[in-house]
Amino acid sequence: MTAVLPLDPASYRPHALHDPERIWPETNCYVDLWIEVAASLGLEPRAMLGFTLTQDFEGDQFTFFKVPLEDLESLWDLKVQELAIFDRVEAHVATQLERGRLVLVEVDSHYLPDTRGVSYRLTHGKTTIAINRLDPAARQLDYFHNGGFFRLEAEDFDGLFGLLPGQARADRLFPYCEFVKAPAAFDATGVKVTARELLRRHLARRPATNPIRAYGAEFGAHMADLATRSPDYFHTYAFNTLRQLGANFELLAAHLDWLGDPGLEEAREAALAIASGAKTMQFQLARAMARKKFDALEGALAGLADAHDRVMQALDGAFGARAAA
């Protein structure tokens, strides 16, 4: 039995960024996982969120935003590297855990009990967990996923690692895995300075055009497609569009609040307007899809696009990123 951090799922308390009272208590599996991992390492998760400025509309979805690994290294000297899998997955995981390294593994949410009522034993879907403790003899592991820290065992353990009857196939692909190499001790000196430099860099790299207006230009076609879909499809669509948009900007607001610099209040408030507006629109879209009538949503994105302009204008004023670029 090997554990990296002395954590117990029964007593674990998620970070405040996953408070149920937030507009978007969960964002996506990768960012949520890193929020909890950073906090459990004694680090401030809000420091790493400047990358949210680079979110774009990709034609069919908003960017599935992820923490850039180079930002983690710049802030805290955390090195995240791909773990090559050429033997049993659990054997590789055990080796890295013994060396004091958390292991991130892409798995099937079908076997994750924390997704009960959503995908657990219902559907199959790709998601990422960070394994902290592994006990092969007891068929048990403790893992970070979404906004918490959990334990799975027995048949779920077997299913996760492809040990169930019928899972052992010669053409079965190995999962994508990463491992985290942390320094012997963290130095918090200068983290805000580094975070400001990263924010300035990401501001200069933001999309050339307003991504919410780009979404608005495609929104009619999206609605026409939704009108032909079953009600269940709404959740998949909303997760990859409005949830990614709203959650991204709520995290940006948290980052700006943590920086605490004068002149960032306007950008923070505009970011929160995007977060709450996307949540409202998600509710409206759910009702529209149930009725198959989408006319009331025409123009609903205009206010969010204006708020996006305000975010960028305020940050340009504070950091002068465009001029520096």
Main-chain phi, psi angles of 128, to 5 degrees = -115, 135
User: What pTM value is reported for the model?
Assistant: 0.94
Q: What is the pLDDT of residue 232?
A: 87
* 180 vs 25: CA distance, rounded Å: 25
Is pLDDT at 168 greater than 80 in this prediction? no
Going by pLDDT thresholds of 50, 70 and 90, the confidence category of residue 21 is: very high
Q: What is the pLDDT of residue 59?
A: 96
Residues 299-317 as b or e (16 or more Cβ within 10 Å = b): ebbeebbebbebbbebbbe
- Provide the residue ranges of all domains of the chain, joining segments of one domain with +: 2-42+79-181, 191-324
Q: What is the pLDDT of residue 323?
A: 37
The tens digit of pLDDT for each residue in 28-42 reads 999 999 999 999 999
Q: What is the pLDDT of residue 322?
A: 45
Going by pLDDT thresholds of 50, 70 and 90, the confidence category of residue 99 is: very high
Mean of the per-residue pLDDT values for the chain?
A: 94
Is pLDDT at 256 greater than 80 in this prediction? yes
Mean pLDDT of 173-194: 94
Q: What is the pLDDT of residue 38?
A: 98
Is pLDDT at 325 greater than 60 in this prediction? no
Going by pLDDT thresholds of 50, 70 and 90, the confidence category of residue 188 is: confident
Q: What is the pLDDT of residue 64?
A: 97
> Which helix H or strand E contains 104, and what residues bound it?
strand 103-108
Is pLDDT at 170 greater than 60 in this prediction? no
Q: What is the pLDDT of residue 298?
A: 75
The amino acid at 116: R
The tens digit of pLDDT for each residue in 53-78 reads 999 999 999 999 999 999 999 999 99
Is pLDDT at 257 greater than 70 in this prediction? yes
Collapse the DSSP code of 62 into the 3-class scheme (helix H, G, I; strand E, B; otherwise coil) and give the result: strand
The tens digit of pLDDT for each residue in 110-137 reads 999 999 999 999 999 999 999 999 999 9
Q: What is the pLDDT of residue 2?
A: 79
Contact indicator for 203, 319 with CB cutoff of 8 Å: yes
Q: What is the pLDDT of residue 297?
A: 86
Q: What is the pLDDT of residue 172?
A: 73
Is pLDDT at 169 greater than 70 in this prediction? no
- Residue 25 makes CB contacts below 8 A (sequence gap 6+) with 18, 19, 147
Q: What percent of the chain has a predicted confidence (pLDDT) above 90?
A: 87
